[in-house]
Structure 1
């Protein structure tokens, strides 16, 4: 006996709508995480800029540089993409000029 997948006896519509519903839920969760990540990155950049200003005033630039290297190490578990992400975070946190 052969059954066609598009034959009236097979409910493919229910499977498609369940998958669409799951995708919608997953996309919503990713969007929420993106919003949280963006908020955390902004806060991190503000803190890093304050650290840079205090380090410059106090002459603690070596400590700040050592911490930047530690950031690279922390994100190393993500491989090359982790290094790129760490460098981006460091750039975002540098004191803005002008």
Structure 2
């Protein structure tokens, strides 16, 4: 339930038996569970299959058996092998990211040392803003956060 649904004034309630998606609202302090915005609808919520409650047996299926079947051992083995192969690729990508991260941090540190040795400042905010903008344009909000982490890794905290 969302934070809005948990306010002191209102509680939302969904009828499980309703197939038309009717939502009932009541005031917590009203003292009555029978005040409904839709006076024409009198079905109480319950275990009846409907919009929010699925039946246990597929309707019309012979002998009441489920229409879904369990995966075969071959399918499970193929799926497991595919997942393992994908995880190996992720591990390789992670290792490469770590290597590149460290290389970038060291290069950035060297630039800072050279700039300060030449009488400049420790960092150039305009350059950092360009980097943040580049990452934001390519990756969105997460890209901007990633850029800030990269910059901090190279120059340290401000």
TM-score, structure 2 normalization: 0.51
Q: Deviations over 1:37-71 (max 9, x none)?
A: 10000000000000011111223439833221121
Structure possessing the higher radius of gyration over alpha carbons: 2
1:43 maps to 103
| Contact kept? 1:55, 1:64, Cα under 8 Å | no
Cα distance between partner residues in 2 of 1:22 and 1:4: 23
As a proportion of its length, which structure holds more helix?
A: 1
Is 1:13 aligned to 2:73, yes or no? yes
Alignment match, 2:83: 23
SS at match of 1:61: coil
Number of aligned pairs? Answer: 92
> Contact 1:75–1:82 at 8 Å: present in 2 too?
yes
Distance in 1 between residues matched to 2:132 and 2:154, nearest whole Å: 14
Relative contact order, higher structure (CA 8 A, sep 6+): 1
SS in 1 for 2:74: helix
Q: Does the CA contact (< 8 Å) of 1:53 and 1:95 recur in 2?
A: no
Partner of 1:65: 125
Unmatched tracts of structure 1, length 5 or more: none
Q: Which has the higher strand share?
A: 2
TM-score of the superposed pair, with normalisation by structure 1 = 0.80
